[in-house]
Amino acid sequence: MRDDGDTTRAEGPSPNGFREGASGDRALPAVLQDPDEPFFWDHITPRTIDPARWATFQRYMAEILEEFGMDLDTPGTHRTPERFLRALFDSTSGYEGDANLLTAFPTECRGGPDCLLSQVIEGPIHFYALCEHHALPFFGVAHIGYVPHELIIGISKLTRLVRVFARRFTVQERMGVEIIDTLVRLLEPHGVAVHLAATHLCTQMRGVREDQSKTWTSFWRGSYESQPAMRDEFLQTVRVSRR
Ligand SMILES: [Zn+2]
Ligand SMILES: [Zn+2]
């Protein structure tokens, strides 16, 4: 489905907790007040797979690849079942979290009117994900816009955030919702926008779609929901950046 409309609206409940305009409250979000309070991706949870299970998986993969036509009896391919499984495992490391994600920096916003007018736009952030329907890659770029209240986050952390949700079996819609809702919880900003543009190999490799088609999805929270001009400015920047 090609979506040139730019505004595939994310479904689901709209989270609360936005700072709307003037506020004398200078308290940090609870998650940052207490360094021991874990964010759900703030602790690494390694997936440990028993060596005997790995061996079993490799036998299955060898069987499948061979049946599909691969000659496993060559120097280049005899370890392919093992390498394929390792690559798949590494490509889904997002399930393990990212211990380096939780860093935000205070800004000087005091809730004045100009606070609502200045958005920060970061991107393109390149990502690679696996579609949960076919376990084949979809990949593309993310752009993130937000209107900070008291906290900002660096581009390297935004990149980590995108990747922790991309390196899984997922779908583009869920990825966008996870990214945007995490930013809302982490930054407590006035608003957040996320735009994802991706090529899906599960359709393109099999010739269902025309070449080069992309799926675009946009997600809005807070001030972006109520201010069309802010959405326009964001999408305009995304278009220029993507060229
Ligand atoms: Zn698919
Ligand atoms: Zn503010």
Span 68-89, pLDDT tens digits: 999 999 999 999 999 999 999 9
Question: Residue 170's beta-bridge partner residues?
Answer: 131
Instruction: Examine the domain organization and report whether 116 and 229 are in the same domain.
Output: yes
Rounded-to-integer distance, Cα 54 and Cα 220, Å: 42
SS (H, E, C) 145-213: EEECCCEECCHHHHHHHHHHHHCCEECHHHHHHHHHHHHHHHHCCCEEEEEEEEEEHHHHCCCCCCCCC
**Listed residues 38, 62, 93: the one ending a domain:** 93
Instruction: Examine the domain organization and report whether 177 and 211 are in the same domain.
Output: yes
Say if 10 falls within a structural domain. no
Question: Which CATH number fits the domain that encloses residue 224?
Answer: 3.30.1130.10
111's CB contacts (< 8 A; 6+ apart) are 19, 21, 22, 23, 24, 149
Proximal ligand: closest to the CA of 148 = 2
Say if 56 falls within a structural domain. yes
Instruction: Examine the domain organization and report whether 238 and 123 are in the same domain.
Output: yes
Looking at residue 111, its pLDDT comes to 64
Helix (H), strand (E) at residue 127: strand 120-131
Q: Is 240 exposed, middle or buried (0-12, 13-18, 19+ CB in 10 A)?
A: exposed
Q: Give the Å distance between the CA of 109 and the centre of ligand 2.
A: 5
Q: Find the domain containing 63 and state its range.
A: 51-93
Say if 20 falls within a structural domain. no
Say if 89 falls within a structural domain. yes
Q: Give the Å distance between the CA of 119 and the centre of ligand 2.
A: 11
Q: Give the Å distance between the CA of 172 and the centre of ligand 1.
A: 10
> Token pair 């008291």 is at which residue?
150
Looking at residue 35, its pLDDT comes to 47
Q: How many domains does the chain have?
A: 2
Residue 139 amino acid letter: F
**Listed residues 93, 121, 146: the one ending a domain:** 93
pLDDT tens by residue, the chain, 243 residues = 333 333 443 333 333 334 333 333 344 444 444 444 455 555 678 899 999 999 999 999 999 999 999 999 999 999 999 999 999 999 999 999 887 777 778 877 766 666 666 899 999 999 999 999 999 999 999 999 999 988 888 889 999 999 999 999 999 999 999 999 999 998 999 999 999 999 999 888 886 556 678 899 999 999 999 999 999 999 999 999 876
Say if 81 falls within a structural domain. yes
Say if 209 falls within a structural domain. yes
Q: Which residues surround ligand 1, an ion (CB under 5 A)?
A: 131, 133-134, 202
Q: Is 39 helix (H, G, I), strand (E, B) or coil?
A: coil
